[in-house]
């Protein structure tokens, strides 16, 4: 029986940058400490929200290594190590394993895409490169490629492919029917946490938990502990905030939200730019309405 990497809420953490665009490592440590202090269950370093496409491989691995050291075993560190080049994904996976990551999050190939047979070959090659557990990441809206239920079922037979971060919620039921009981499902949509949990999912890999980690953790655990009405209340309560956090392409709004709250995480790297004034105002209003406190600078 394969054990889940985590149950609950994992934060797909932003990567903080200095005003001149370098990775702000002291700030990364602050963000990790804040997440852990607020009860988050795991953290994903350099997923989409971490702007992984803009970090060259050496810098990418250095960020993961530093995060592993900063977390120091307090929660699982899941390394984003996907690519549309299988060779690059394999290299990032191996190197993430060597620097101490606890697990790998691997996105489907994008732009060049592939067939379902190609997906099987791609993920098998990645699995062969490490003993770490692997969570596949299926996000067709970004990649233009979907892992079908049948392909997920085939890949779920690989010992260290242990789960999927799924954004195509319409196929979760069909997929659940085909995979082993110990194959884990995580919602990739903050607005669809309860539906995933109702299908028997283990939690969420979340963007909104960058700004409300305790609430995101509680939302999942209320459901897992059988407190379904309370979980449902929390899911409904975050809808306006989620709308603001996805008013522009992720992670533009969530980085701005953290800046509004006083975390000073910097701006995205090009080709992403800061948000429009309308988005900034919507974020300010949503954060104020939800009651997210400004961070003390003392």
Active site residues: 137, 165
Q: How far is CA 4 from the centre of its chain?
A: 16
Query: How would you write the chain as a 3-class SS string?
Result: CCCCCCCEEEEECCCCECCCCCECHHHHHHHHHHHHHCCCCEEEECCCCCCHHHCCHHHHHHHHHHHHHHHCCCCCEEEECCCCCHHHHHHHHHHHHHCCCCEEEEECCCCCCCCHHHHHHHHHHHHHCCCCCEEEEECHHHHCCCCCHHHHHHHCCCCCEEEEEECCHHHHHHHHHHCCCCCEEEECCHHHHHHHHHCCCCEEEECHHHCCHHHHHHHHHHHHCCCHHHHHHHHHHCHHHHHHHCCCCCCHHHHHHHHHCCCCCCCCCCCCCCCCHHHHHHHHHHHHHHCCCCCCCC
* Long-range contacts (CB closer than 8 Å, 24 or more residues apart) made by 187-193: 188/137, 188/138, 188/139, 190/216, 190/238, 190/242, 190/245, 191/235, 191/238, 191/239, 191/242, 193/219, 193/220, 193/223, 193/235
Token pair in block for residue 29: 């440590």
């Amino acid at each position: 029986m394969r054990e889940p990497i985590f149950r609950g809420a994992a934060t797909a953490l932003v990567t903080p940058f200095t005003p001149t665009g370098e990775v702000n490592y002291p700030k990364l440590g602050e963000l990790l400490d804040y997440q852990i202090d607020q009860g988050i269950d795991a953290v994903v370093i350099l997923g989409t929200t971490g702007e992984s496409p803009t970090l060259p491989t050496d810098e990418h691995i250095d960020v993961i290594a530093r995060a592993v050291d900063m977390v120091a075993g307090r929660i699982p560190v899941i390394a984003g190590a996907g690519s549309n080049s299988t060779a690059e994904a394999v290299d990032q996976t191996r190197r993430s394993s060597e620097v101490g990551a606890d697990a790998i999050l691997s996105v489907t190939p994008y732009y060049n895409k592939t067939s379902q047979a190609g997906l099987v070959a791609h993920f098998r090659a990645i699995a062969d490169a490490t003993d770490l557990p692997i969570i596949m990441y299926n996000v067709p809206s970004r990649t233009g490629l979907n892992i079908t239920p049948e392909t997920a079922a085939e890949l779920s037979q690989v010992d260290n492919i242990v789960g999927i971060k799924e954004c195509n919620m319409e196929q979760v039921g069909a997929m659940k029917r085909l995979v082993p009981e110990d194959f884990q499902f995580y919602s990739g949509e903050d607005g669809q946490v309860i539906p995933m949990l109702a299908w028997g999912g283990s939690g969420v890999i979340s963007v909104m938990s960058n700004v409300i980690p305790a609430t995101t953790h509680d939302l999942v655990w209320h459901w897992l502990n059988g407190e379904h009405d309370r979980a449902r209340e929390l899911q409904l309560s975050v809808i306006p905030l989620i709308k603001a956090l996805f008013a522009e392409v992720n992670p533009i709004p969530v980085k701005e939200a953290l800046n509004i709250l006083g975390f000073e995480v910097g701006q995205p790297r090009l080709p992403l730019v800061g948000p429009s004034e309308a988005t900034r105002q919507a974020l300010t209003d949503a954060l104020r309405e939800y009651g997210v406190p400004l961070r003390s600078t003392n």
